[in-house]
Amino acid sequence: MSNQNIKPINTGEIKEMLNRQKGKMKRYLSFCAHCSLCADSCFLYRAHNRDPQYMPSYKVIQSLGKLYKKRGEADRRLLTEIKGIVWRNCVLCGRCYCPIGIHIPSMIAFARSICRSQDVYPQGDEASSESWL
Amino acid sequence: MYDLIEGPFLSLAFIIFVLGLLYQGSRFFQLTRKKEWIAPPLPGAEKRVKKSVGQFIIDGLASVKGTLWKTDPLMMIVTSAFHVCLILAPIFLLAHNVLLDQSWGIGLWSFPESFTDWLTIVVLICVAFFLMRRLFLARVRAITSFYDYFVLLIAAAPFLTGYLAYHQWFDYRTVMILHILTAELMLITVPFTKLGHMLFFFLYRFLIGSEYSFTRGSRTW
């Protein structure tokens, strides 16, 4: 297996990354009206029988939202969970549409950056693995 | 009590509302000062093709197919009606304009009272629709927390108490106090909660760089 199970999680680094983007990202999160109108703009949501876990807002709330809620105090389990959300459940095609104008792809991309900073990212052989979540 | 909430409290609520929106607006421009592109602009994309009015309308109607008006028309009708009535009812309410006139000698043109009464009813029906959506639609329930119900209550309470006050149901004085207090709470919370989409809806619309905005947009988050 890779070094994903070896390197300890550096919460200080996560906190620093979260703080650097706090102005933008926290505003995005706090102004989301939780209306679910972004759902149908996601082809994965439509392709998975309209399963709410593929909804763009759900993905953002469960990944970046959780990281901000925990103030960066993330463990490997949480980051692995987030990895599944931001890589498997989202292909970052950038087609998601928020009627309020929240830029969802930048939030998913940021969540990916945080995971990547801790060496949490999909390995070549698990690109389509269902065991992430 | 009544004098306090109608006087200093109301002024304070308006000051927080205006300053809060100005602060959030200025922060938005600060945070978007650096231009970002989601995808680099295609060569020649800046060139605008001149269209006839007819073609413009035809293209506009065709593009509706890809919008929420096509995917969720009921929600779009309800949410549009809700937001239009929510803004119009308090601004053009006769009683509010009479109070404005008495206090500052200014007053806007007012709708007939029966009309604003109907606008209020529309707002309340829409709120009931949103509540049902939150309770029974799986995709909305998946992202709903207690806070979402609370925000919906903040938005609905001034209209519910205003309706009760106008029809003089229950104790008028108590209902009026509740009406003013809930309206003040709504004003204070707009800039700092998800009700802030009142401001950001318009800012994003013009500034986000995507095909969803009115303009090409050069500032994004």
- Name the residue ranges covered by the structural domains of chain A: 3-121
CB contact under 8 A, A31 and B200: yes
- pLDDT value at residue A133: 46
Please give the full DSSP string across A35-63, using - where no structure is assigned: --TTGGG-HHHHHTTT-GGGSHHHHHIII
Q: Does B173 reach chain A within 8 Å, measured CB to CB?
A: no
**CA–CA dist B35, B77 (Å, integer):** 35
- pLDDT over threshold 50, residue B65: yes
Of all residues in chain B, the percent with pLDDT exceeding 90 is 48
Closest chain A residue to B27 measured between Cα atoms? A23
Does the beta-carbon distance from A106 to B193 stay under 8 Å?
no
For residue B42, pLDDT beyond 60: no
Cβ partners under 8 Å of residue B155, min gap 6: B86, B127, B186, B195
In angstroms, rounded to a whole number, what is the distance separating the alpha carbons of residues B9 and B180? 9
Grade residue B60 by pLDDT with cuts at 50, 70 and 90. confident
User: What is the rounded CA–CA span in Å between residue A109 and residue A132?
Assistant: 18
- Optimal mutation site among B32, B145, B151, B221, interface A, most CBs of chain A within 10 A: B221
CB contact under 8 A, A50 and B148: no
pLDDT tens digits, residue range B68-78? 777 888 999 99
Question: What pLDDT score was predicted for residue B27?
Answer: 87
Per-residue pLDDT at B85: 95
- Using a CB-CB distance cutoff of 8 angstroms, which residues of chain A are in contact with residue B196? 30-31
Predicted local confidence at residue B207, as pLDDT: 62
Instruction: Write down the pTM of the prediction.
Output: 0.84
First-to-final CA distance of chain B: 45
- pLDDT tens profile A53-101: 999 999 999 999 999 999 999 888 999 999 999 999 999 888 888 888 7
Which position has the token pair 């947009």? B217
Cα distance between residue B128 and residue A132, in whole Å: 39
| CA-based torsion, A78, A8, A107, B127: positive or negative | positive
Beta carbons of A53 and A89 less than 8 angstroms apart:
yes
Q: Is A31 within 8 Å of B202 (Cβ atoms)?
A: no
According to DSSP, residue B169 is labeled: -
Mean pLDDT for chain A overall: 86
Taking contacts as CB-CB distances below 8 angstroms, the residues of chain A near B39 are: 94
Query: Cα B24–B25–B28 angle (5° rounding)?
Result: 85
What pLDDT shows up at residue B144? Answer: 94
Write out the E strands in chain B.
none
pLDDT, one tens digit per residue, over B124-172 is: 999 999 999 999 999 999 999 999 999 999 999 999 999 999 999 989 8
ipTM given for this complex: 0.84
**What local confidence, expressed as pLDDT, does residue B46 receive?**
56
B27 at A interface, C-beta within 8 A: yes
Distance in angstroms (rounded) separating the CA atoms of residues A108 and A115: 11
For chains A and B, what is the number of CB pairs under 8 angstroms?
A: 86
Predicted local distance difference test score (pLDDT) of residue B179: 94
Our CA-based measurement puts residue A111 at a distance from the nearest CA of chain B, in whole angstroms, of 15
**Using an 8 Å Cβ cutoff, are A40 and B72 in contact?**
yes
d(CA B26, CA B32): 10
Above 50 in pLDDT, residue B220?
A: no
Note whether A48 and A88 are within 8 A (CB): no
Q: Would the pLDDT of B81 be above 80?
A: yes
Contact B143 A24 (CB under 8 A): no
- The answer to which of A103-117, B29-43, B85-99, B184-198 has the lowest mean pLDDT is B29-43
